[in-house]
Structure formats: C-alpha cells, structure tokens
A and B are shown apart, each in its own frame.
Chain A
C-alpha cells in the first residue's frame, strides 16, 4: 500500500467524483440558460444595436451568440462525459463483484448488527432447516448460494441485480447519446474554420456566386440546412446557417419541386403543407417521385428531406403606382417578388424592393356588429421603398378593399423597422369600386389654379350672404385658403398646427386653429364638389359622398407621414410558391436513439428494481433442532424493504415451527 495515491489515481478520483458530477450537471444547466435568454444566431447588427459596442464585443468574444457551438460549452459537455465514463469505469469492477458475490462468508456478528435481522428457533434439524430456508428464498425469487462450516451453515440469497444494470445502462446510455450527437455535430466545420479552410459567407448573394471557401462537398458526413425551391425548379444545395452567415452544402442528388400545396381549414388557417418532389439521382434508374408533408419526411440514401415551411418563389405581380403628387407621373411595373426596381420621383431616385406576396391573410376583423373574427382578407404584397440615402420604409398593401364598420377602404401599412407594428393608411373606395375619385381629389387639391377658383367661389358665396364686398379682404381670404390647402397636402393638419403654435400666443391658439380649419374645410369642400363634377356628377353631393370626403381628408392628413411618393396597388398577380425544405444527413441519429433507449430502461431499473440480499445463518442445536438468524439489506427504498422483511421473517417463523417428521429432502422442485 502506498501512502499517497499517484497523480493518475488522484485524477481518476477527481474525474469520477460525485461532487464533480453534480457541479457539472449544474454548470451545464446554467450555461444552457444563457443560450435561451439571449436569442441565438441573430444578425450581428441587431446585437450591436441591442448591446452597444462594448458589450457586443465582449459577448462576441465569449461566443454568446452561438453558445451551443462554443468551444467552452462543448468542453464542459465533454468534461461531463469524461466524468461519467470515469465513474462507470471505476464502478464497474465493484458492480461485477457485487453481482457475482453472494457474500456467503459473512460473520454472524455482522448479521446480528444489521438493521433488518431476526433470530428464530427451528424445530427441524440443521439440514432440514437449510433445505426449508433455501426453498423459501427460491420461492421469493432469490438466487442462493450455500456454505457449510464446522459449526454453522449459511444460505445467502440475492435478487434484483438489474438495479446495477440500471446504473450501467443509464450512464453508458448518456455517453452513447453524446457520441451520437458528436457524429452529427458541427465539429468538422469548426475544425476546418479554425484551420482556415472554411469561412461562412455573410453576404446575401446567389449560391452560384458563393466562393469555394464557403462551400462543402456532397460527401460531408453530416449536415443540416435548408433551401427554398420555387415550384418547377430544382436545387442540389442547401444553406447551412453558421452564426451570422451560412455555408453552401452540396447534395448528392438534385431535388425538384413539382408542385407545392397549402391545404386550408374552412377558417382559412393552413391545414397542411405538401410538396410533390422529384429526386434526380444519377445512381437511380429513374427519377424518384414522391410527396412529402409536415411530419412526413422522405429519407433517401440517409438524407432526410422535410417540409419545413413555405414562401414565395418569385410571384409575378402587376403593380400600379399611383403618384401622390402632381409633380410626377403614375406608372406601372411588371414586377417579381425578390426583385428590385428603380423609380424616379420629381426630387429623388428610389429603389422598390418587392419582398413578399401572400395569397391569404388571416386577420382579426371587426364585423359590422363589432365582433372580432378571423377572416381571410385576400392577397397582399410586401415591399420596401429605399430612398437615395439608403433609408427604407416597409409597406404591406392589400389588393382588395376591406370593409371596416360598413365602409370600404384600400389598406396600406407602413413601418420603419420589423419590430414595430404597421400603421395603416385607409384610402376610401369610390362608388365604382376604385381609388379614382380619391386620386382625382388629391390631384385637384394640388392644382393651384383649381384651388384658387374654388377658394374664390367659396369666398364669394359666403360674402354674398354677409353682403360685405371688400376686394382686399377677398384676396386675403383666398390667399390664406390656398396657403392652408397647400400646407395641408404637404404637411398635414399637424403642419398647420405647428405653424399656429409658432405664430400665435398660447391662449389664442385654439380659436385660431378653429378658424383655420373652418377656412380650410370650406376650400376643400369646394374642390371636392369640383371633383365630383369632373366625374360627371351633376346632382348635389349625397351624404355618402360627404362621408367619402371626410375619409379622404383623414387619409390625406396621414400622407406626409406615409413617406412614399406613390401608392402602390397590385392589379393582378400570378402566384409562384416556393417550398421550404429542411434537408439533413444525421448518421448519429440512430446512435442517439439507441442511447436513449438504454437511458430509459436504465432509469426504470434504477428506480423500480431494488437489489436485495438475504442471509440465513443456521446453527445446529443439541436437541436436533436449529437456531437461525435471518438478516437482509437492500440498496433502495428502505421503507418498502422494511415491510418486506417483516413479511419474510413471518414466513420463516411459521415454517420453522411446523413439526414435520421427515423432511430430509426438499420436495417438488
């Protein structure tokens, strides 16, 4: 025996220690929490905005944006596995000993010192007693071993060895799971990156332009990525996301999406997504045709193809851009989703980026009775309008008018960032079901000549009533009407209010605003009447016409904040969908499942099987009888064992006191 253990033994002691194991369990748990609190693998710019440069850099150097692939996290996991393995390795010899040995060499003293033990007198001789004891233990499911010594005999029994197998299965199962996970992990990618052979691409460019250093061959051992394939197209690559970029992974075959379908419930919510696929594989005699859907993947040559989501595959849209200003013209665009278009207004150039087309939009709609209901409000187009400085606003425009509280409107939503909700513009629909009247009215109030005429008309009408005719006053009023109208179109009522706030003292502002609005309203009403006349209406405007007028003013009031020189309306479309496929090759999956099975069986064995031992120590007495000591132990569930032992000792007691003359041989075995 050495006094101090060698360094090796100390290391093994440390690695296999329970304290380390528990600490590691807790550390892994805490480390895992970080990754759930901090959203992982977002674009780096959004982290930068959120945390500021200092924390951004610090978190980045700690790999907190991709915790579960971070070296330190993997190292802790590996440490845990090493610890489990050491523990199993260290305990296994002991367990085998435990399973093999019946411990028939116990001392009487130690039996009598046990918590569960009982001394019983047997009316039989020692041999018969031994036979009976053995029978009792066998009947209870124990395996036994006997040992005869000079002055006594021992029957040692045990059962429930499966408990120890449980320990073994549980812990080995975990190692197996970890190894399976390792087979499917990104470790090869991380190593290649580290060696400088691989670099994720961060630009948004077509796959064909991605440089070789960001590509992986179709022979990769494991991968997991996704690709959107438009109907009628094919692909032989997937994109594997890595931190804020991606890698292009080649596939050993080509996937064609023949058709993509969304089935809907009666409420309009999606019921299932399905793709008809054709797999073009040179090693197959004929292309493989099949249909996949959510929860029903295709597995071909160890590569699994899943229906993950869907999106637009470049739908063709006919867009009408209604100019919101008289200084430049309306125009039409034959657009495609994901393409950009250059537009010119009077003062600057814009880029129109079409981002998405949706055939169905299930929105919460208030019906005429005020009840909120989910309703399909029809197709929409989502696009960004980017000005020359690169600033962009995002728009979502619905193709069909929506009915809100009995009135119909064309709806367009606008927002500056994806985090905020859309603010909506409601353009009233005219009796012909179009935007024509609104657009004409909008154009008319920008027509200086027409506004002047109308203002003059209004002023004269009202002056006739008051019979004061003063040309200077008239000119003043007309001029202010013109000015207010122009201000309203360019800056909205807010602009007018701001001017009032600047010009008038606080206590006069309210009355000034009231007067201004009255004047403005009178002018606009006249322009509106003129608009109706241009439409060919001769009769006096109806109440509905005035409602339209009010709605128009509300819409025009919001135009300055709308931020777009055009109102884009989708006149027609041809939908092309793209099927979103997730494609994986994970050779470790079955290993993980096997490990999981071991773990599950192991856990149940550990909890629900107890390893029990019973000893019967038999001492012959002079009167041809015997004295026995029954003792027992269990490694689990003491309360239950206590009850069990009580029953068992009763059995022994009753059997041993029976008077039987000839029991030299154990019967019926």
Chain B
C-alpha cells in the first residue's frame, strides 16, 4: 500500500540517467568493454599509444550510442560476428579469399562490399515500391534490406582492415585512406543516420530518397573499382601514416553523410510541398511525412553535420600542422572545407535568426550537397594540391 506521500515522491522524483538503465543496457556496456579488452590483447602489439587512446575513447562512445539508440546494438553485434567469421575463415592466409567458399561469396571484403552495393540498390527500389503501393510490408522489407546492406558494408571495411595486415603487416592500415574506402564509409554513415531517424520518427517513407544518394555512391564505387582497380589494397604513403587519419576522416564523413541526408529530405520536402499545392489528396501529399517533420529532420541533420564537420576541419588543421608544418595552407581541399562550412553556417543563421523556413531553405540544402560533393570529390578530380592522395 502506498501512501499519498510516496506516490507524490514517485511522481516528482526523476531517476538519473544511470537509474534508468536496465539490465540489457548494462549487458551491452559489459559486452563492449569485453570486446575492447579483447581487441587490446589481440592487436595491442601493433597499436601506438594514440591508437590505444582512440580505442579507449571508442568504447564509451559505442556504449553511449547503444544506450541512446537500441538498434545500434544488434547491428554492432552482427558486424562483429561476421567480421570475426571473416578473420577466422582467413586463418592468416590471404589466398583463402579465392578458395574458401564463405570468403569468396560472403565476407571477404570485396564480396561483402558487393553484397552491400546490391542490397542498397535493391532497398532503394523496394522503398519506392512500398511508397507507391502504400504497402507497409514492402517498406519493412526495404528497411530490412538496408540493415543487411549496412551490416555487410561495415563488415567489408572491418575485414578489409584485417586483410591489409594479411597482405603484408607493413601495409596494414584502417580502411579510410583512399576514395574507394571512404565511399564505402560514406554509404554506411549516411545509411546509419537515416536508419536512426527512421526509427526515431517511425516513418519509412523517406527511405527511397535517402538511399538514392547512397545508390549513386554505390554506382561510383563500382565504376571506380572496375575501371581503376581501386579496390586493390595499397600501402599508405608516409603522409597518411598518422593516427589523425583515424579520427579526421570518420568525423568528416559524419558531416558529409548528414549533409547528404539533409539534401535528400529537402527533395522530399519540395515534392511534398508541390504535391500539396497541386492535389491535396495526391500521392505526394498523402504518402510523404508532414512538412514540419521533414523540416525538422533536415535541420537536425544539418546541425549534426555542421558540428562534426567543424570538428573534422579542426582535426584536419591539427594534422596538417603535424604533417606539413602549417595548420592552414589554403590548399584547395582545406579551402573547400571552409566553403562548405561557411555555406551551412549561413544556412543555420538564416533559419535561426531570420526564421527562414520552407522551400528556399530546402533548395539551399540541396545546393549545399553539390558544394559538399565538390569538396569531397571535385577537388580531387579537378584541382591539384597537397591532398592529392585520392586522385582519380
């Protein structure tokens, strides 16, 4: 029996973050810590102190991510298990890539990336099919395919990391060192960001839009690896041999991925807006999420992208200071990073201080993607400078 006083207390008192955690949350934390310790003992011998530091910081971030976003847990576990399967199947012999069935057709980095590519494209089509037919099951299938694609992509990167050491221990490096690898990273990060919002807003109708930009990246990836042999694992040039790469590049790609997501939700916004004007009962007006929600996701994605892009640019400057002797050289890549940053800063100001919303901001976010794309790809293709590692 509870007295009124107790009821009031229980109504008023807010549990702290830790009190809110359940057993499953603690299990998740224990698992991540155990895995990190295992990684440390298994691979600590090839890590320098910075990399150990990065590992030590990755663990709590991973725990927090899993607490904040439940779906991240099964995802991580699936990637970990498949990666371990890959490592186990290799058994220390790179030649197994062509001989062992499980590697050749599933988890060698190349096959895994192929699976990812195929599934992303299929998922795009499926999402759109679900949207047009208004079929919840089809949309769900699209989500499932996207999840599997994301698992395969991340597994591909993990196994590639291991493969680089297998080919030659001296080649070994984290696979974020050239255009081929970062395109995979881009697909994964954009996909994960989308899945987060899909879960958060419980709405699957944007899947096709966001996966369109991922499919475009996949097309580039395939073209790039077929025509240029870009998937070959190459040793790092001396300038890239730095722990900075491990944090600078992923931070950058959270930025790029978020900006890409914002552009795609803006396309949906424009379509919805147009649909509402033309025919309030039409397909676009009824099937797409509300304008408020689209606007909200766009803003959140740009804010997230901006925050991480800020960090990435600063980290880039610190790395440049260490590798080239100057934190800012007005090198084309740096300059374009600044341009991207200024562009979104202007966007945020307009939205916040001038209260601009709606169609013009959506257009701006779409143009922003092209500016971003140029910083990410165009600079390597058309301009020369110090950042010429990933030349086409």
Q: Do A and B come together as binding partners?
A: yes
Binding site for B on A (CB under 8 A): 18, 21-22, 25-26, 28-29, 32-33, 35-37, 39-40, 67-68, 132, 135-136, 139-141, 181, 224, 265-267, 269-273, 293-297, 304, 306, 308, 582-584, 586, 589, 592-593, 596, 599-600, 603-604, 607, 639, 651, 654-655, 658-660, 663, 667-668
Expressed in whole angstroms, the minimum distance between the Cβ of A295 and any Cβ of chain B is 4
| A662 to B, closest residue via Cβ | B5
| A66 to B, closest residue via Cβ | B330
In the complex, which of the residues B7, B14, B303 contacts A607, with contact meaning CB atoms closer than 8 Å? B303
B49 touches A (CB below 8 Å): no
Task: Please tell me if the beta carbons of B335 and A306 are within 8 angstroms of each other in the complex.
Answer: no
The winner among A29, A293, A655 for most chain B CB atoms within 10 A is: A29
Task: Please tell me if the beta carbons of B13 and A139 are within 8 angstroms of each other in the complex.
Answer: yes
B322 touches A (CB below 8 Å): yes
- How many interface residues does chain B have, given as a range? 35 or more
Take A25-B346, A35-B335 as given contacts and tell me if A655 and B383 are in contact as well, using a CB distance cutoff of 8 Å: no
In the complex, which of the residues A37, A592, A604 contacts B327, with contact meaning CB atoms closer than 8 Å? A592
Task: Please tell me if the beta carbons of A600 and B311 are within 8 angstroms of each other in the complex.
Answer: yes
CB-CB under 8 A from B296, the residues of chain A are 639
| B344 to A, closest residue via Cβ | A25
Task: Please tell me if the beta carbons of B12 and A306 are within 8 angstroms of each other in the complex.
Answer: no
The complex places the Cα of A295 from the Cα of B350 at a distance, in Å, of 40
Expressed in whole angstroms, the minimum distance between the Cβ of B85 and any Cβ of chain A is 29
CB-CB under 8 A from B314, the residues of chain A are 593, 596, 599-600
CB-CB under 8 A from B11, the residues of chain A are 651, 654-655, 658
Expressed in whole angstroms, the minimum distance between the Cβ of B333 and any Cβ of chain A is 9
| A584 to B, closest residue via Cβ | B325
| A659 to B, closest residue via Cβ | B4
Task: Please tell me if the beta carbons of B310 and A269 are within 8 angstroms of each other in the complex.
Answer: no
A/B pair count, beta carbons within 8 Å:
147
B318 touches A (CB below 8 Å): yes
Task: Please tell me if the beta carbons of A132 and B322 are within 8 angstroms of each other in the complex.
Answer: no
The winner among A36, A67, A68, A139 for most chain B CB atoms within 10 A is: A36
Task: Please tell me if the beta carbons of A37 and B323 are within 8 angstroms of each other in the complex.
Answer: no
CB-CB under 8 A from A135, the residues of chain B are 12
In the complex, which of the residues A68, A136, A272, A295 contacts B323, with contact meaning CB atoms closer than 8 Å? A295
CB-CB under 8 A from B353, the residues of chain A are 18
Task: Please tell me if the beta carbons of B325 and A270 are within 8 angstroms of each other in the complex.
Answer: no
The winner among B242, B335, B353, B379 for most chain A CB atoms within 10 A is: B335
Task: Please tell me if the beta carbons of A29 and B325 are within 8 angstroms of each other in the complex.
Answer: no
Stretch from B115-123, B153-161, B233-241 forming part of the interface with A: B233-241
Expressed in whole angstroms, the minimum distance between the Cβ of A294 and any Cβ of chain B is 4
CB-CB under 8 A from B14, the residues of chain A are 139-141
Expressed in whole angstroms, the minimum distance between the Cβ of B235 and any Cβ of chain A is 5
Expressed in whole angstroms, the minimum distance between the Cβ of A616 and any Cβ of chain B is 13
Expressed in whole angstroms, the minimum distance between the Cβ of A346 and any Cβ of chain B is 43
Which residues of B, 288-331, contact A by the 8 Å Cβ criterion?
Answer: 292, 296, 303-304, 306-307, 310-311, 314, 317-318, 321-328, 330
Task: Please tell me if the beta carbons of B235 and A267 are within 8 angstroms of each other in the complex.
Answer: yes
CB-CB under 8 A from A655, the residues of chain B are 8, 11-12
Task: Please tell me if the beta carbons of B310 and A599 are within 8 angstroms of each other in the complex.
Answer: yes
In the complex, which of the residues B292, B317, B324, B332 contacts A582, with contact meaning CB atoms closer than 8 Å? B324
Q: Beyond A35-B330, A294-B241, A659-B4, list 13 extra A-B contacts (CB 8 Å).
A: A18-B353, A36-B383, A181-B328, A224-B325, A265-B168, A270-B237, A295-B244, A586-B321, A592-B327, A600-B311, A655-B11, A658-B8, A667-B5
CB-CB under 8 A from B8, the residues of chain A are 132, 655, 658, 660
Which residues of B, 229-265, contact A by the 8 Å Cβ criterion?
Answer: 234-235, 237-239, 241-242, 244
CB-CB under 8 A from A29, the residues of chain B are 338-339, 342-343, 346
Expressed in whole angstroms, the minimum distance between the Cβ of B293 and any Cβ of chain A is 8
CB-CB under 8 A from B342, the residues of chain A are 25-26, 28-29, 32
The complex places the Cα of A132 from the Cα of B13 at a distance, in Å, of 11
| B7 to A, closest residue via Cβ | A658
Task: Please tell me if the beta carbons of A32 and B338 are within 8 angstroms of each other in the complex.
Answer: yes
- The 8 closest A-B CB pairs, nearest first, are A582-B325, A306-B325, A294-B238, A36-B332, A25-B346, A68-B330, A596-B314, A29-B342
The complex places the Cα of A267 from the Cα of B330 at a distance, in Å, of 33
Task: Please tell me if the beta carbons of A266 and B326 are within 8 angstroms of each other in the complex.
Answer: no
Task: Please tell me if the beta carbons of B238 and A658 are within 8 angstroms of each other in the complex.
Answer: no
Task: Please tell me if the beta carbons of B237 and A596 are within 8 angstroms of each other in the complex.
Answer: no
Task: Please tell me if the beta carbons of A33 and B339 are within 8 angstroms of each other in the complex.
Answer: yes
Expressed in whole angstroms, the minimum distance between the Cβ of A251 and any Cβ of chain B is 14
Task: Please tell me if the beta carbons of B168 and A266 are within 8 angstroms of each other in the complex.
Answer: yes
The winner among A39, A607, A654, A660 for most chain B CB atoms within 10 A is: A607
In the complex, which of the residues B235, B242, B307, B346 contacts A269, with contact meaning CB atoms closer than 8 Å? B235
Task: Please tell me if the beta carbons of B12 and A139 are within 8 angstroms of each other in the complex.
Answer: yes
B271 touches A (CB below 8 Å): no
Task: Please tell me if the beta carbons of B292 and A272 are within 8 angstroms of each other in the complex.
Answer: no
Expressed in whole angstroms, the minimum distance between the Cβ of A376 and any Cβ of chain B is 14
Expressed in whole angstroms, the minimum distance between the Cβ of B94 and any Cβ of chain A is 14
B171 touches A (CB below 8 Å): yes
| A592 to B, closest residue via Cβ | B327
Task: Please tell me if the beta carbons of B330 and A224 are within 8 angstroms of each other in the complex.
Answer: no
Task: Please tell me if the beta carbons of A271 and B170 are within 8 angstroms of each other in the complex.
Answer: yes
B93 touches A (CB below 8 Å): no
The complex places the Cα of A25 from the Cα of B4 at a distance, in Å, of 59
Task: Please tell me if the beta carbons of A295 and B242 are within 8 angstroms of each other in the complex.
Answer: yes
| A640 to B, closest residue via Cβ | B296
Expressed in whole angstroms, the minimum distance between the Cβ of B289 and any Cβ of chain A is 12
Take A21-B349, A32-B335, A269-B237 as given contacts and tell me if A603 and B327 are in contact as well, using a CB distance cutoff of 8 Å: no
Give per-residue flags for B3-24: 1 if the beta carbon is below 8 A from chain A beta carbons, else 0: 0110111011110000000000
The winner among B242, B311, B314, B336 for most chain A CB atoms within 10 A is: B314
CB-CB under 8 A from A293, the residues of chain B are 238
The complex places the Cα of A617 from the Cα of B285 at a distance, in Å, of 42
Give per-residue flags for B86-104: 1 if the beta carbon is below 8 A from chain A beta carbons, else 0: 0000000000000000000
B345 touches A (CB below 8 Å): yes
Take A271-B170, A600-B311 as given contacts and tell me if A295 and B325 are in contact as well, using a CB distance cutoff of 8 Å: no
B384 touches A (CB below 8 Å): yes
The complex places the Cα of A546 from the Cα of B327 at a distance, in Å, of 62
CB-CB under 8 A from B338, the residues of chain A are 29, 32
B354 touches A (CB below 8 Å): yes
CB-CB under 8 A from B322, the residues of chain A are 295-297, 306
Take A25-B349, A29-B343, A293-B238 as given contacts and tell me if A136 and B12 are in contact as well, using a CB distance cutoff of 8 Å: yes
Task: Please tell me if the beta carbons of B238 and A26 are within 8 angstroms of each other in the complex.
Answer: no
Expressed in whole angstroms, the minimum distance between the Cβ of A257 and any Cβ of chain B is 16
Task: Please tell me if the beta carbons of A294 and B13 are within 8 angstroms of each other in the complex.
Answer: no
The complex places the Cα of A668 from the Cα of B9 at a distance, in Å, of 10
Expressed in whole angstroms, the minimum distance between the Cβ of B363 and any Cβ of chain A is 15
The complex places the Cα of A25 from the Cα of B338 at a distance, in Å, of 10
Task: Please tell me if the beta carbons of B339 and A37 are within 8 angstroms of each other in the complex.
Answer: no
The complex places the Cα of A181 from the Cα of B327 at a distance, in Å, of 9
CB-CB under 8 A from B345, the residues of chain A are 25
